[in-house]
Structure 1
């Protein structure tokens, strides 16, 4: 199996079109189709479903896509290791949920530049569900993900836990100055992320456990948009304190810790050792994420988190 054919296949799946993939690879579309057909012939399975709107991987194609990501990346790293000797180097792809990225991304960039300038940091920011998907597919080396508890899991290092807050005005009925009971949110209009978000799943689960249904008036997969809507007074949102603590008027915005019950979540950094042994660069970045988080928490630069 030719490594070049695997690169071609990854590009086709990513682009969803043989024509677009051919343009990216600077080859003709018939030539690319022939390469994919040759790969399918070698493996004896159909890898792509062709349709009027492009191509999509079959179940076998998805399996190859995931494994091909690892093979191509390892191939590239082997060549890099030979050239660089003992120096820690190379690309490390890190996925961060939006509410984590606000705090961690700038500090992690600075730490990497100071401690391991040979590492090429690749930061991906998105909603937590998509970050989990990218990690599973092997597109990321590390991902910071939310967990329901502080239970230790393979290939994970727990970082911190945090409570969630109601953000927005006007104040719901019976709200105290800094806290509000979950029961009093049953009729509060909320904007929260869509179904692929771990935050949304946690909110739905906590409300359901109390026999309540959250009054969600819009699915908003943007941290900035949720905060701006909350500031408008037309709806509230539910976020960790760190998401709004830097805003000059965050007190006027309305920040109240939810209690009875407290909505708490844990955060862990996860790697993909289930697919391959962590490289030195990946291990260094995982240690860096822990070190940066610990320093920011101890220095008071990450409000609302409790180190695990």
Structure 2
């Protein structure tokens, strides 16, 4: 039965069954509602049965859906246990590792990577630091973090950089603006609105300010914020537009609290950074692998539609926008 070999579909089916709502399950799965609906349709097609009955308030399980749900939990637990046991047998890593992460990537990328890592390496204690790209760069430089996810435009000379993705910067607006991810907007359009932006120094802010400056204008900043969550709240309440990444807006987009569109050709690159003068521990190397694998999986599965993989691309001495 081919569909059950795709554990991602099975996991997402369980989320739908628990939520009894495609919209709510899509948020929990970090996918768009249309994508999740297509996954459920594909699962039904592979199994040759209807699993869900759609209705105005959500979905309910059919008799076949109830039967699948009854077995799905055991199947997924068995799969997780096999992966964990194989990983533990292959590598007895222990100790501590500190990971720095940009706040906007925390839930979308880093939390799933850390969850996967600790299942495979129960002997390792993980400490997660959170802040701006520049703050996390400094945490690696002064030894508070063993590795960090940073924007590739940050100065890279003290570090070994491992680029893994580049993504389009998005204009984030209230729902009534009807922005769409498949229909780019222009920098000029963004510049016509009051903006809610991250306070400088910030990589996204630097990219935006530089692009506007080249056109002889500047951002009309109504509110400066310290994190993406606050920016999304203010956009939803109609204070203005913002500029962030897909990861920062993914949950709000799924709940239709905001709308978003790529801004011309503006992009930002992401890399894993370690200090050149300190050899990375086995735990740090394994955690870096976990972060990169989650990123590549999201890109491959279409859950990070605004990004493309940079795995294997050598970084320059000084980072720049992709």
- The normalised TM-score by structure 1 is 0.64
* Contact map agreement 2:180 2:260 (CA 8 A) in 1: no
Cα displacement (A) at 1:248: 5.8
1:109 paired with 2:114, answer: yes
Cα displacement (A) at 1:292: 2.0
Q: 2: CA distance between counterparts of 1:266 and 1:134?
A: 19
Output one character per residue of 1:128-158: Cα deviation in whole Å (capped at 9) or x when no partner: 2211221221111001011249x99961111
Report the counterpart of residue 41 of structure 2 in structure 1: none
Output one character per residue of 1:86-126: Cα deviation in whole Å (capped at 9) or x when no partner: 83111110011011112112211221122212111111121
Output one character per residue of 1:186-219: Cα deviation in whole Å (capped at 9) or x when no partner: 2311111111211211111111122221111221
Runs of 4+ in 1 over 6 A off after TM superposition: 174-177
1:128 paired with 2:130, answer: no
Give 1:99-248 correspondences, 5 Å limit: 99-148=104-153, 155-169=160-174, 178-247=183-252
Q: 1:224 to 1:164 in 2, by over 3 A?
A: same
Report the counterpart of residue 6 of structure 1 in structure 2: none
Query: 1:117 is paired with a residue of what secondary structure?
Result: coil
Cα displacement (A) at 1:170: 7.6
Q: 1:170 to 1:105 in 2, by over 3 A?
A: closer
* Contact map agreement 2:272 2:288 (CA 8 A) in 1: yes
Q: 1: CA distance between counterparts of 2:175 and 2:127?
A: 40
* Contact map agreement 1:162 1:305 (CA 8 A) in 2: yes
Query: 1:129 is paired with a residue of what secondary structure?
Result: helix
Q: 2: CA distance between counterparts of 1:176 and 1:134?
A: 34
Q: Give 5+ residue unaligned stretches, structure 2.
A: 1-90, 311-322
Instruction: Report which stretch shifted further, 88-97 or 287-296.
Output: 287-296
Q: 1: CA distance between counterparts of 2:303 and 2:226?
A: 25
Alignment RMSD (CA, Å):
2.9
Query: 1:281 is paired with a residue of what secondary structure?
Result: helix
Cα displacement (A) at 1:224: 1.1
Query: 1:283 is paired with a residue of what secondary structure?
Result: helix
Report the counterpart of residue 302 of structure 1 in structure 2: 304
**Equivalent of 1:275 in 268, 274, 277:** 277
Q: 2: CA distance between counterparts of 1:178 and 1:157?
A: 31
Q: 1:87 to 1:170 in 2, by over 3 A?
A: closer
Q: 2: CA distance between counterparts of 1:177 and 1:282?
A: 37
Q: 1: CA distance between counterparts of 2:277 and 2:93?
A: 21
Cα displacement (A) at 1:249: 5.5
Report the counterpart of residue 266 of structure 2 in structure 1: 263
Q: 1:136 to 1:154 in 2, by over 3 A?
A: closer
Larger Rg, first or second structure (1 or 2) = 1
- The normalised TM-score by structure 2 is 0.62
Q: How many residue pairs are counted as aligned between the two chains?
A: 219
* Contact map agreement 1:129 1:197 (CA 8 A) in 2: yes
